[in-house]
Amino acid sequence: MSTKKFDYESLQDAHSIKTYLVSLIDSIEKGRIILKSNGEEMAMRVDDLMKFSVQAKKKDGQNKLSIKLSWSEIKPVIKDERASSMSIGS
Amino acid sequence: MLTAALKENLSFMVVEVARQLDETFDFLASGEVAAFQKINSRDDYIDNLKTVIENCCFTTLSEARSITQRERDSIRATHTICVNLERIGDFCVSAADQLHYLNNHAILQHFDYQRIFDLLAEHLQEVIPVLKNGDMGKALAICRAENQIDDIYKENFDKIMEALRSGKEIENLVTVLFIFRYLERMGDSLLNIGEALLLSILGEKIKIEQFQALEETLSKSGLRTNLAEVGFSSILGSRSGCRIRKVHGHNEQPQIIPQTQSSIFKEGNKEKILTEKKNLERWHEIFPGLTPRLFSHQESEETASLLVEFLPGRTFEAILLKGDPAELETVCLLLHSTVREIWKRTKKEMPVKANFIPQIMARMHSVLSVHPDFLRARQDIGSSEVMPTDELLAKCRHIEEKLAAPFSVFIHGDFNVNNIIYNAARERIQLIDLYRSREADYIQDVSVFIVSNFRQPVFKTHLRDRLNWITRNMYQMAREFAVEQGDETFEVRMALALARSFYTSTRFEWNNDFAHEMFLRSHFLLEKVLAHQDSPWHTFSLPSGIMYY
């Protein structure tokens, strides 16, 4: 299975950070997050259920805040056991 | 100096290599098989001697309780000499071995190999005496013998080529060429021996070409040309590609270089050296005493050299890292008043473009060769677009076109913390390395100074606080000057200048995290300038936090 990666790192001020966050929120609301790098696209379908975590750390005057979303796009297969085991006899 | 065993073994080795040369010559002349066996077995003996001498050198260096620099140089020289003597021995075997491929032995006798053997023998016998008595003239003669050997090689090479054109005896002529090639390489080894002898006499590793340039420059400055009487000291590193040596004047030297005065010898790229000379003269007119005095200069076809005053004192870098706080404060105040005075004296009411963005573009290749990923690609994060580096630079260049500084000053051009000298005895600031000086935007020197502070590889809090304090004061001084002069676009030009210095300085920074920090800061500043393009430039506010770490 292929692995796709997108990586962006920058320095921003509060105003420009907001621009990026708002654009991500818009994408979540629309149900699709599109990330592109050099024309190569990575699309992520937003799920009804996503793991959402916020982690923060403060050490020696250095601050770090991580916001993480993770979810699976593979839907569990729901089998109807009764239906598959049914046999029709003559 | 050298131990008795070392001296003795080296003398043996010289004698053996000289005999090897004799035997090889005889073999090439006679072609007698027995002679080849002798050459081969002597080679083993020479190899052994080399091992013995090497061991002796390393043991002396590691076991001696106290050893002077002079003794260390002497041992280094001895080691180089023995390595190169052994090589000459090897080349003898290789040249002799070629004779087996020669079908027609007589053909070799049409060519003049004897003169090369004569030169090698003549100069090899001087090696031990020169090492003992430090005769500079003879050491130089050994170095210069290589040129003579090269000339003889060239004469014979041309003769072989001509003979080859006849289409006869091709295999034999190629073998003769191989033999001469080995003889020519013996000359190269002789040169290494000569340069090692110079090291033992001068206490400096110096190439014969540099030596000649220095000799001519000193001679032009009115100094006696006997370099053995002129002291050398540490090699000072330089990024400019010029080699720099400190030459001490001696008491008996004429007044051109005052007593106890030292000078710096710079030799290298002609254009750079001549620009520095022109700039030194200009600085001397503007601000006598601020920059080193020029004693003399010398030009050859490709290189040039300068002999300039050595400025005693410490660099600003040394003071900011090791000086006490009160001293640092004094030096900063002095630096600010010196810089303001330069600006005042050299200010010309002539708008000048700084070209910070083209400067980034010109250095991009060097940046990418150290950090291949320091180029942002076009990216989209949802509906937000990230502009790629090249587009960002192109747009900022366009903006910069309209942002000339309202006046010019004569800038240093490489206003790094290690190009600023503080002379405590005379309580003055002096500047060195001036080949980039020109009429330009004063902001360039300020931004280079700020980033040279920023990129000091020190991360202890108290030192970073110090660096930030220096940066803030320099920035404030420059900003006050801008306000006084009615320079309304100071902050936006400073943003571009800092972007330039952050980006281009990454090529000197191997610590990837730190370099990446500078890369990000540079992009942030460029984006900030671009985002402001529809507003008046005098309303641009530099996010000052960008200068501090």
Instruction: Select from A9, A27, A33 the Cβ nearest to the Cβ of B520.
Output: A9
**More confidently predicted of B393 and B222:** B393
What is d(CA B286, CA B292) in angstroms, rounded to the nearest whole number? 13
All domains of chain B in start order, with CATH: 4-205 (1.20.58.220), 209-309 (3.30.200.20), 314-547 (3.90.1200)
pLDDT score of B455 = 94
Q: Give the residues across from B421 on adjacent strands.
A: B315, B430
How distant is the Cα of A15 from the closest Cα of chain B, in angstroms? Answer: 11
Question: Taking the domains of chain A in order of start, what are their residue ranges?
Answer: 14-71
B235 touches chain A (CB under 8 A): no
- Reported as a pLDDT band with limits 50, 70 and 90, residue A75 is confident
Side-chain half-sphere of B411: how many Cα atoms within 13 Å? 21
Find, in chain B, the residue whose alpha carbon is nearest to that of A29: B382
B513 touches chain A (CB under 8 A): no
Structure tokens at B488: 């309304």
Examine the pLDDT at B476 and tell me if it is beyond 60.
yes
Instruction: Select from A8, A12, A39 the Cβ nearest to the Cβ of B524.
Output: A12
- CA-to-CA separations, B158 to A60, B58, B155, B483, in angstroms, rounded: 73, 44, 5, 72
Contact (Cβ atoms closer than 8 angstroms) between residue B412 and residue B431 = yes
Contacts of B523 in chain A (CB under 8 A): 10-11
SS3 B526: helix
Contact (Cβ atoms closer than 8 angstroms) between residue A63 and residue A57 = yes
Contact (Cβ atoms closer than 8 angstroms) between residue B503 and residue B389 = no
Contact (Cβ atoms closer than 8 angstroms) between residue B75 and residue B57 = yes
pLDDT tens figures, B174-214: 999 999 999 999 999 999 999 999 888 877 666 777 667 66
Contact (Cβ atoms closer than 8 angstroms) between residue B443 and residue B391 = no
**More confidently predicted of B239 and B92:** B92
pLDDT score of B505 = 96
Examine the pLDDT at A87 and tell me if it is beyond 70.
no
Q: What percent of chain B has pLDDT over 70?
A: 89
Which residues, 6+ apart, have CB-to-CB distance to B370 below 8 Å? B506, B507, B509, B510, B515
Which residues, 6+ apart, have CB-to-CB distance to B201 below 8 Å? B130, B134, B136, B139, B228
Which residues, 6+ apart, have CB-to-CB distance to B63 below 8 Å? none
Asked if B378's CB is within 8 angstroms of A36's CB, the reply is yes
Find, in chain A, the residue whose alpha carbon is nearest to that of B517: A11
How distant is the Cα of A71 from the closest Cα of chain B, in angstroms? Answer: 18
- Look up residue B513 and give its amino acid: D
B521 touches chain A (CB under 8 A): yes
Contacts of A11 in chain B (CB under 8 A): 520-521, 523-524
- What average pLDDT does this structure show over B248-258? 46
B55 touches chain A (CB under 8 A): no
- Reported as a pLDDT band with limits 50, 70 and 90, residue B253 is very low
Residues of chain B numbered 379-418 and touching chain A (CB < 8 Å): 379-384, 386
Burial (Cβ within 10 Å: 0-12, 13-18, ≥19) of residue A76: exposed
Asked if B524's CB is within 8 angstroms of A37's CB, the reply is no
Find, in chain A, the residue whose alpha carbon is nearest to that of B381: A35
Contacts of B528 in chain A (CB under 8 A): 13
B62 touches chain A (CB under 8 A): no
pLDDT tens figures, A3-25: 889 999 999 999 999 999 999 99
Examine the pLDDT at B257 and tell me if it is beyond 50.
no
- Look up residue A54 and give its amino acid: V
How distant is the Cα of B524 from the closest Cα of chain A, in angstroms? Answer: 6
Examine the pLDDT at B350 and tell me if it is beyond 50.
yes
pLDDT tens figures, A38-65: 889 999 999 889 999 999 999 988 999 9
pLDDT score of B73 = 84
pLDDT score of B71 = 83
- Reported as a pLDDT band with limits 50, 70 and 90, residue B301 is confident
SS3 B315: strand
Which residues, 6+ apart, have CB-to-CB distance to B14 below 8 Å? B85, B124, B125, B127, B128
Asked if B383's CB is within 8 angstroms of A36's CB, the reply is no
Which residues, 6+ apart, have CB-to-CB distance to A39 below 8 Å? B378
- Reported as a pLDDT band with limits 50, 70 and 90, residue B307 is confident
Structure tokens at B262: 């030292």
Structure tokens at B29: 């002349």
What is d(CA B182, CA B177) in angstroms, rounded to the nearest whole number? 9
Q: Phi first, then psi: give them for residue A51, nearest 5 degrees.
A: -80, 135
Q: Phi first, then psi: give them for residue B250, nearest 5 degrees.
A: -115, 165
Specify the DSSP element, H or E, that contains B136.
Answer: helix B136-165
pLDDT score of B333 = 96
- What average pLDDT does this structure show over B464-490? 97
Pick the closest to residue B46 from B98, B94, B84 (CA basis).
B84
Contact (Cβ atoms closer than 8 angstroms) between residue B315 and residue B421 = yes
Examine the pLDDT at B458 and tell me if it is beyond 50.
yes
> What is the DSSP code string of B337-375?
HHHHHHHHHH-BS--B---HHHHHHHHHHHHHHH-TT-S
**ipTM surpassing 0.95, yes or no?**
no
Is the sign of the CA dihedral B524, B526, B530, B535 positive or negative? positive
**C-alpha angle B48-B54-B60 in degrees, rounded to nearest 5:** 135
Find, in chain B, the residue whose alpha carbon is nearest to that of A28: B382
Suggest the residue from A5, A6, A10 to mutate for an interface test with chain B (most B CBs closer than 10 A). Answer: A10
pLDDT tens figures, B78-99: 999 999 999 999 999 999 999 9
Is the sign of the CA dihedral B524, B527, B529, B531 positive or negative? negative
pLDDT tens figures, B48-75: 999 999 998 998 888 776 778 778 888 9
- What average pLDDT does this structure show over B461-472? 95
- Reported as a pLDDT band with limits 50, 70 and 90, residue B229 is low
Helices (H), ranges, B99-241: 114-124, 127-133, 136-165, 170-202, 208-220
Asked if B382's CB is within 8 angstroms of A23's CB, the reply is yes
- What average pLDDT does this structure show over B448-460? 94
What is d(CA B439, CA B410) in angstroms, rounded to the nearest whole number? 4
Asked if A33's CB is within 8 angstroms of B382's CB, the reply is yes
Interface residues of A toward B, Cβ cutoff 8 Å, are: 6, 8-13, 16, 19-20, 23-24, 26-27, 33-39
- Give residue for tokens 């070799």: B108
Side-chain half-sphere of B157: how many Cα atoms within 13 Å? 12
How distant is the Cα of A40 from the closest Cα of chain B, in angstroms? Answer: 9
Which residues, 6+ apart, have CB-to-CB distance to B121 below 8 Å? B18, B21, B22
Find, in chain A, the residue whose alpha carbon is nearest to that of B543: A13
Stretch among A67-76, B155-164, B338-347, B523-532 having the lowest mean pLDDT: A67-76
**More confidently predicted of B245 and B26:** B26
SS3 B433: coil
**More confidently predicted of B63 and B47:** B47
Instruction: Select from A16, A26, A37 the Cβ nearest to the Cβ of B382.
Output: A26
Structure tokens at B418: 């290690």
How distant is the Cα of B50 from the closest Cα of chain A, in angstroms? Answer: 57
Asked if B380's CB is within 8 angstroms of A33's CB, the reply is no
Contacts of B516 in chain A (CB under 8 A): 9
Find, in chain B, the residue whose alpha carbon is nearest to that of A34: B382
Structure tokens at B216: 């001519």
Which residues, 6+ apart, have CB-to-CB distance to B13 below 8 Å? B46, B49, B50, B53, B82, B85, B86
What is d(CA B201, CA B126) in angstroms, rounded to the nearest whole number? 14
What is d(CA B357, CA B343) in angstroms, rounded to the nearest whole number? 23
Examine the pLDDT at A70 and tell me if it is beyond 50.
yes
Asked if A26's CB is within 8 angstroms of B381's CB, the reply is no
List, in sequence order, every beta strand (DSSP E) within B214-364. 231-236, 243-248, 262-269, 294-299, 303-309, 314-315
pLDDT score of B255 = 40
Structure tokens at B356: 């910070």
Pick the closest to residue B68 from B137, B165, B2, B144 (CA basis).
B2
Q: What does chain A come to in residues?
A: 90
Per DSSP, B77 falls in state: H
- CA-to-CA separations, B533 to B49, B175, B386, B487, B488, in angstroms, rounded: 75, 73, 17, 18, 15
Q: What percent of chain B has pLDDT over 90?
A: 70
Burial (Cβ within 10 Å: 0-12, 13-18, ≥19) of residue A83: exposed
**More confidently predicted of B264 and B467:** B467
pLDDT score of A61 = 86
Suggest the residue from B371, B373, B374, B381 to mutate for an interface test with chain A (most A CBs closer than 10 A). Answer: B381
Contacts of A39 in chain B (CB under 8 A): 378
Pick the closest to residue B140 from B119, B123, B120 (CA basis).
B123
pLDDT score of B230 = 55
Contact (Cβ atoms closer than 8 angstroms) between residue B491 and residue B499 = no
How distant is the Cα of B510 from the closest Cα of chain A, in angstroms? Answer: 19
